[in-house]
Amino acid sequence: MGKKKRIGIIGATGYTGSELVRILVNHPEVEIALITSESRAGEKFSDIHTSFRGIVDIVLQPASQVEQTDLDLVFLALPHGVSMDFVKKYHQKPFKIIDLSGDFRLDSPEIYHEWYQKGHVYKEGFDSAVFGLPELNREHIKQSELVANPGCFPTTAILGLAPLLSEGMIESRGIIVDSKTGVTGAGVKPKEVTHFPNVNDNFKAYGLKKHRHTIEIQDTLNKLSSDEVNLQFTPHLLPVDRGILSTIYARPVKEVTTADLNALYLRYYEGHPFVRITPEAPSIKDVRASNYCNIYITHDERTGNIMVLSVIDNLVKGAAGQAIQNMNLMLGFDETAGLKQAPLNP
């Protein structure tokens, strides 16, 4: 076996940072060489994430240590608006970068400004960043030095709609993406929206008409479709810690059956190890703690609608797992290395 690749994780006191560590600690081809935190530097990783005691007791370093450490690849598990400063600083360094934030996912700094209400500090990054959805961009990801890891909702919606739009089988305007997410999607920092009484025994929609994932979904699907895509995306907050279920409604342009649709999806996702086309409507526990995206597709003869149900674990296929899938491609490993765990159910 060759020398293990050396990995850095920036921002590991957060949820996706700890999920990266959880998966990478058992990855056969890499070693975790550096874990950083600004607020908790000097403490052990396992002092913050206590479930890691005796497993990952590495002392957290400030991010300034990145430049003093020999690294092959760095994950940025930082909030959007913060990540861009790090990409700007690290882009010419001799390690590859996977950014888990939304800072480089969109097509231009102007679109970013419109949907994130924030100016961008590193416009050059847009020229080289590759949107890290392996099922669409595998060959580009393999060659990339900078991968923009997709958002969690966009992963469900894009994988759910890609076959239909690529084949021109649905009306490209008026698609509805109705999504429900667990609370870890909101990050580790306590906020009013994640406060226990606001989440527990509760359920609500948010980000109506303007959630920033709308444009990420729409613009990515536009590249697959010959007609312009326009869709309505509405996220909802579930009182669970992890998991996303998106229910998607679309109108077929010609007569179609559920059997045709299943055949299309099975064909489209052949050779994509983490997409499973299922014969039953999926639940979030079907994928919990795993890198799988389960997709169920059906045609409702009564209404004429096509329905697609797509589920992931927001912290795994929606963030850290997908980032590691991208790492595997960028570093020339088997795409599934370190990611073969079965879902945790119950």
Ligand X SMILES: NC(=O)C1=CN([C@@H]2O[C@H](COP(=O)(O)OP(=O)(O)OC[C@H]3O[C@@H](n4cnc5c(N)ncnc54)[C@H](OP(=O)(O)O)[C@@H]3O)[C@@H](O)[C@H]2O)C=CC1
Ligand Y SMILES: CC(=O)N[C@@H](CCC(=O)OP(=O)(O)O)C(=O)O
Residues involved in catalysis: 152
* Minimum distance, C-beta of residue 318 to ligand Y, in the bound complex (Å): 7
190 binds ligand X (CB under 6 A): no
- Among ligand Y, ligand X, none, the one that 237 touches (CB under a kind-dependent 5 to 8 A) is ligand Y
39, 50 contact by CB (below 8 A): no
Supply the DSSP string of 204-236, one letter for each residue. EE-STTT-THHHHHHHHHHTT-SS--EEEEEEE
235 binds ligand Y (CB under 6 A): yes
- Among ligand X, ligand Y, none, the one that 315 touches (CB under a kind-dependent 5 to 8 A) is ligand X
102 binds ligand Y (CB under 6 A): yes
Q: How far apart are the C-alpha atoms of 257 and 301, rounded to whole Å? A: 8
Stretch of 90-98, 161-169, 180-188, 246-254 contacting ligand Y, by CB under 6 A: 180-188
Number of residues that bind ligand X (CB under 6 A): 28
Strands 5-10 and 73-76: parallel
* Minimum distance, C-beta of residue 327 to ligand X, in the bound complex (Å): 15
For residues 34 and 261, which CB has a smaller minimum distance to ligand X in the complex?
A: 34
- Among ligand Y, ligand X, none, the one that 125 touches (CB under a kind-dependent 5 to 8 A) is none
C-beta nearest to ligand Y: residue:
185
In the set 8, 132, 134, 151, which binds ligand X (CB under 6 A)?
151
Q: How far apart are the C-alpha atoms of 307 and 282, rounded to whole Å? A: 13
Considering only residues 203 through 232, tell me which ones interact with ligand Y, judged by CB under 6 A: 207, 213
Considering only residues 78 through 97, tell me which ones interact with ligand X, judged by CB under 6 A: 78-80, 82
* Minimum distance, C-beta of residue 254 to ligand Y, in the bound complex (Å): 35
For residues 180 and 299, which CB has a smaller minimum distance to ligand X in the complex?
A: 180
* Minimum distance, C-beta of residue 253 to ligand X, in the bound complex (Å): 32
Helix H or strand E encompassing 199: helix 196-199
In the set 5, 7, 15, 269, which binds ligand X (CB under 6 A)?
15
177 binds ligand Y (CB under 6 A): no
Q: How far apart are the C-alpha atoms of 145 and 93, rounded to whole Å? A: 10
- Residue 341 is classified by DSSP as P
152 binds ligand Y (CB under 6 A): yes
Window 22-61: contact mask with ligand Y (x via CB under 6 A): ----------------------------------------
* Minimum distance, C-beta of residue 259 to ligand Y, in the bound complex (Å): 35
189 binds ligand X (CB under 6 A): yes
In the set 8, 163, 185, 243, which binds ligand Y (CB under 6 A)?
185
Window 204-223: contact mask with ligand X (x via CB under 6 A): --------------------
11 binds ligand Y (CB under 6 A): no
Assign 3-class secondary structure to 13-49.
CCHHHHHHHHHHCCCCCEEEEEEECCCCCCCEHHHHC
Q: Which two tokens stand for residue 319?
A: 């963030």
Supply the DSSP string of 58-93, one letter for each residue. PBPB-GGGGGGS--SEEEE---TTTHHHHHHHHTTS
Q: How far apart are the C-alpha atoms of 242 and 219, rounded to whole Å? A: 26
109 binds ligand Y (CB under 6 A): no
Supply the DSSP string of 234-299, one letter for each residue. EEEE-SSSS-EEEEEEE-BSS---HHHHHHHHHHHTTT-TTEEE-SS---GGGTTTSS-EEEEEEE
Q: Which amino acid is at 335?
A: E
Supply the DSSP string of 298-327, one letter for each residue. EE-TTT--EEEEEEE-TTIIIIIHHHHHHH
Residues that bind ligand X (CB under 6 A): 11, 13-17, 37-40, 77-80, 82, 100-101, 151-152, 184-185, 187-189, 314-315, 318-319
